[in-house]
Structure 1
Amino acid sequence: MPQADLLLTDTRIRTLNPHQPEATALAVKDGRIAALGDTATLTRDWSGPGTERLSLAGATVTPGFVDSHSHPVWGLQMSAGADLTGVQDLDALRAALRSAPRIDGWVIGWGLDHNAFGGRPVHHGLIEDVLDGAPAFLRLYDGHSALASTAALAAAQVTGPREFAQRAEIVCDAEGRPTGHLIEHAAMDVVDAVVPRLSYEKRRAGLVDLLKGMAATGLTGAHVMDGADLELLAAVEQDTDLPLRLTVAPWCMPGVDQDGLDELIALQKRGGRDWRVGAVKFFMDGTVEGGTAWLEQADCHGRGTDAFWPDPQAYSDAVRTLHAAGVRTATHAIGDAAVRHALDTIEALGASGRDAHRIEHIETVPDDTLPRFAALGVAASMQPPHTAYTKGDHSDEWSQRLGAERAGRAWRTRDLRDAGAVLALGSDWPIAHFDARRVLAMARVPEGAAGAGQGLSGLEALEGVTSHAAIASGEAHLGGRIEVGLRADLTVLGLDPVLAPADELAQAPVRLTTVGGRIVHRGE
């Protein structure tokens, strides 16, 4: 007689399998769902002396939550220093910097909202007097821009503008003097190269703690949208199991040659017990607030008409090369022109391009792009918490940049689902908090900053972090549903995430989180 390793009973199980949508018990054996049915039958047939049986009365079991866009490894350095996510205005920023701890003499901060500047240009002159001469490097919340103080610019020997292979900029005034505003990764990296780094030991311990914190919100996996540090992941797995299952998508940047593409293809073979390289990440544009989102018409500052790749066809050629090698791609595309070009590129691949590629963010798009996602089999990957940086009255920096018409078609999650698209949801941590419950709750808000009527149903939101997330990563044959033979990646909440009100869901007790049947979080 079989004996389960783990037996969950007396509960409500939402399988997301239309052929068996609900059950009251499930058995786990060797990391997989071994049986699914009623409590009495499974208790009789699958209990044994080595079985851990958990009665979960009042709880709801769902497929394991997956964050479809996160940066848990790269984000460790991105989130170093003072947490500025709660800063709302310039006075609060100055107060935070005045009391911020020095790290090797530096003031380092992250998560700063563009709206805190109150419409003023981002300039080091706004903060210099509270730094007492210390170099400062402050990452803005979008992860694509930063503010560096005079001393930080001097430490990096930045004295004027520079040319970059991608759409990046060291912003300078009319006299050619740097303002401290650094736009896009290439410009930020010039100063970031001299910023104090986290030690290897802190990064290693920080990664495990971070992933444990993610598991405590119900997450069982994440799609890592950066090159990560594969050696760090491998080293951690030598000592312990990762608390989350990670699928990594290394970056492909403008200027890549055939050797670079061959390296990305070869990386797809890398992996460990609970991590693997499973795609390649592209940037078709930057951000609205930075003026680098690629738009079909310029933003209200006269910017945004250029792609991140100076030659957009080179991006298309790189996608084609990777596709021919069987590599999945994910493209950061925020503006309407960026989304359209990514869709055009995938359409040109023909029938073989279906269900193999995805587009990230999709912050503002016109009506005619919506049905193309389903028609081409392109997954839409979106982050509901990003809407927290906009306001319903469109007085925020994002909306002001775009103007009323484009701001009125923001984050069209409802419209994409109605058009038949696969819609995967995530947080983009550290751009927004990783708490999966918040992602679900914010996806369901029916009205507000994301536009009227864009809220999802409870079931659609749940699908966004489970079954649709699995489709987006090419892992629908492995998980995203609770079915016999699939991975036992499970999330157990103290309420039903489909029926509970969004505000209650955001605070839901997480009773249990399992990865491959291994309990990675156990709640009250």
Structure 2
Amino acid sequence: MPADLVLLSARLLDPGTGGFLPHTALAAERGRISFLGDDRDARALAGPGTTVVDLRGAVVTAGFTDGHLHPVSGAERTMGVDLSACRDLDALRTALAAAVRALRPGAWLRGWGLDPNAFGPAPVGNAALGPVLDGVPALIDLFDAHSALASEQALELAGVDGPRTFEQGSEIVCDADGRPTGLLLEDAACALVEAVAPRPTEAGTRARTAEVLAAMAASGLTGGHAMDANGDSLAVYAALEAEDALPLRLRIAPWCRPEADDAEVADLVRLQGTGGAQWRVAGVKLFMDGTIDNGTAWLEAPDCHGESGHAYWPDPQRYTQVISALHRAGVPTATHAIGDAAVRHVLDSVEKAQAETGRADGPGAVRHRVEHIETVPDDTVRRFAPLGVAASMQPTHCCEYTRADHTDNWSRRLGEERAGRAFRCRDLWDAGARVVLGSDWPIAPYPPLQVMAGARHRRPADLSLPPHGPGQALTPLRALRGMTVNAAWAAGEENHAGRLAVGHRADLTVLADDPLRVPDTELAGLPVVLTVLAGRVTHRAAWL
């Protein structure tokens, strides 16, 4: 049978070793790599329907997989005004004023990507934006997507006029007189205003998601670990695949919230393995804490504001029970844990689950993960490898939202000691942990080369600041492995994904040059020549 795809005149880069294979051609059939060899033999595999591409010396490697992203919810969140470039209140007010002028009378303003550092040392609140948002219903997501800022009009429409008690770690921030400041912390609080704000139509969400996924493919992504399945997102994936508009292979982990009872946990178990050809439910996402910037992380000792002293789960032992139940059912988990106490509790819970049921290695093993791991001490770093827990890291969070001089909100809250152990990618790797890299889009930009560049140079994308914790930078090969080999391992797919080998998936990223030789500060600009999913081209440079 003729091949579906033949790539010629290629340099084939093995992300496992960092060396080039002794071949110049690759062929794919039925979604798998079927041949590695020379151009002449590869040409003989082509038939009338084969896609044949002469790469002219471009570099082929295993397809890049983002270890943590939110395609559908991110598509919805980013339909509003992008505020990520606002570095101070003047810039924020200017951007919001322009957005208000473009609104229809009575329409809501939605925004996203707001960095709390724009407020300087002052607390985040709508009073600073009052003149701009006067009479305008507005809901603005802060960059971490764990908090939002609502205008006075939005609070009034939602009936939010004071503090409330929630079943999970959420808060309506109020002033000394009990009046809401507009800052809403965590999901339950944000949902009060979300409930009265207009939502995009199904068609609008589907179209925006398709647009985002196409752009992700153009950036070199062939896959992603999607950390939510909220609302109608699974239906969106099914519809896009039916329309041949799903250019990424997606592994989806629906959320388990603290209020979930045993029946709901059982429902999550039953959902496992459902999906389509290029998307499936595989795992469960949980939250052990919130964020340091909001004061909702779980730290061993409170932050410098006296906050971040509690878990997101009101009863952390219930979390431990849920982990054990999922582990017994063979379901891998991914837990958001940013603070040192949160990470420690996740590892304790996994260790307890493994002690109860035993731990198996190799494909098919229940591989648990911790997401984010922003500040942890040495003894916690050393626990990942013995437990076989993957460390899912987002280096661009460190690059874009923290500063080497510790003048940013994140660092000020933590204090010097804890801020000095920020995003310990290298220490975790050196300790034997499997470090998986991702963007957490829409929290940070998704282009994988930018993520790998951040892991290598620890500086913002515009290179305007010195590196934060350069001793935690990854080598070029480790950064590449973090989005290929290690991503496959975390998914239990190392025997058929993440490498260039016959029988492995034909998920491929083709670059204009060797990413291991391109300087760290130039990596993000390296052209993506071709992206291939299951032997099908999803992006092709105009000149090729």
What TM-score, normalized by structure 1, do the two folds share?
Answer: 0.97
1:474 aligns with 2:492: yes
> Residue deviations 1:241-282, cap 9 Å, x none?
411111110000102111100110111131011100000000
1:25 aligns with 2:25: yes
Name the counterpart of 1:88: 87
Name the counterpart of 1:367: 378
Root-mean-square deviation (CA, aligned residues, Å) is 1.6
Mapped to 2, the partners of 1:338 and 1:282 lie a distance apart of 12
What TM-score, normalized by structure 2, do the two folds share?
Answer: 0.93
Picking from 410, 417, 421, the partner of 1:405 is 417
CA drift of 1:29 comes to: 0.9
In the alignment, residue 424 of structure 1 is paired with which amino acid? V
CA drift of 1:383 comes to: 0.6
Mapped to 1, the partners of 2:140 and 2:18 lie a distance apart of 51
Bigger Cα displacement from structure 2, 61-70 vs 351-360: 351-360
CA contact (8 A) 2:36 2:502 kept: yes
1:425 aligns with 2:437: yes
Sort the Cα spacing of 1:131 and 1:300 in 2 relative to 1 into closer, same or farther, 3 A: same
CA contact (8 A) 2:16 2:481 kept: no
Identity percentage of aligned residues? 54
Mapped to 2, the partners of 1:132 and 1:48 lie a distance apart of 65
CA drift of 1:238 comes to: 2.1
> Residue deviations 1:80-123, cap 9 Å, x none?
21100000001111111111032661121100001000111111
Equivalences for residues 95-494 of structure 1 within 5 A: 95-100=94-99, 101-102=102-103, 105-228=107-230, 229-350=233-354, 351-352=358-359, 356-387=367-398, 388-445=400-457, 448-494=466-512
CA contact (8 A) 1:170 1:182 kept: yes
Determine helix, strand or coil for the equivalent of 1:481. coil
CA contact (8 A) 1:162 1:169 kept: yes
Name the counterpart of 1:56: 55
CA drift of 1:20 comes to: 8.6
Mapped to 2, the partners of 1:113 and 1:280 lie a distance apart of 28
CA contact (8 A) 2:389 2:434 kept: yes
CA contact (8 A) 1:353 1:376 kept: no
CA drift of 1:18 comes to: 5.1
Mapped to 2, the partners of 1:53 and 1:109 lie a distance apart of 44
> Residue deviations 1:418-449, cap 9 Å, x none?
11111110000000011111001111016755
Bigger Cα displacement from structure 2, 6-15 vs 491-500: 6-15
Determine helix, strand or coil for the equivalent of 2:188. helix
> Residue deviations 1:484-504, cap 9 Å, x none?
111100000101111111222
Determine helix, strand or coil for the equivalent of 1:521. strand
Mapped to 1, the partners of 2:458 and 2:177 lie a distance apart of 48
CA contact (8 A) 1:323 1:353 kept: no
CA contact (8 A) 1:28 1:517 kept: yes
Sort the Cα spacing of 1:141 and 1:17 in 2 relative to 1 into closer, same or farther, 3 A: closer
Determine helix, strand or coil for the equivalent of 1:433. coil
> Residue deviations 1:205-242, cap 9 Å, x none?
11111100000000001100011411121122222241
Determine helix, strand or coil for the equivalent of 2:537. strand
Bigger Cα displacement from structure 2, 441-450 vs 106-115: 441-450
CA drift of 1:481 comes to: 0.8
Mapped to 2, the partners of 1:169 and 1:40 lie a distance apart of 65
**Unmatched runs of 5 consecutive residues or more in structure 1:** none
1:37 aligns with 2:28: no
In the alignment, residue 118 of structure 1 is paired with which amino acid? G
In the alignment, residue 357 of structure 1 is paired with which amino acid? H
CA contact (8 A) 1:15 1:62 kept: yes
**Unmatched runs of 5 consecutive residues or more in structure 2:** 460-465
1:511 aligns with 2:512: no
Q: Which runs of 4+ in 1 moved over 4 A?
A: 17-21, 446-449
Determine helix, strand or coil for the equivalent of 2:131. helix
CA drift of 1:58 comes to: 3.0
Mapped to 1, the partners of 2:528 and 2:350 lie a distance apart of 39
Sort the Cα spacing of 1:20 and 1:48 in 2 relative to 1 into closer, same or farther, 3 A: farther
Determine helix, strand or coil for the equivalent of 2:297. coil
Determine helix, strand or coil for the equivalent of 2:525. coil
CA drift of 1:19 comes to: 12
CA contact (8 A) 1:412 1:450 kept: no
CA drift of 1:513 comes to: 0.3
CA contact (8 A) 1:204 1:236 kept: yes
CA contact (8 A) 1:390 1:449 kept: no
CA drift of 1:404 comes to: 0.6
> Residue deviations 1:142-177, cap 9 Å, x none?
110111111000010001000001110001111111
CA drift of 1:21 comes to: 5.4
CA drift of 1:76 comes to: 1.8
CA contact (8 A) 1:15 1:481 kept: yes
Mapped to 2, the partners of 1:19 and 1:106 lie a distance apart of 50
Mapped to 2, the partners of 1:493 and 1:20 lie a distance apart of 15
Determine helix, strand or coil for the equivalent of 2:228. coil
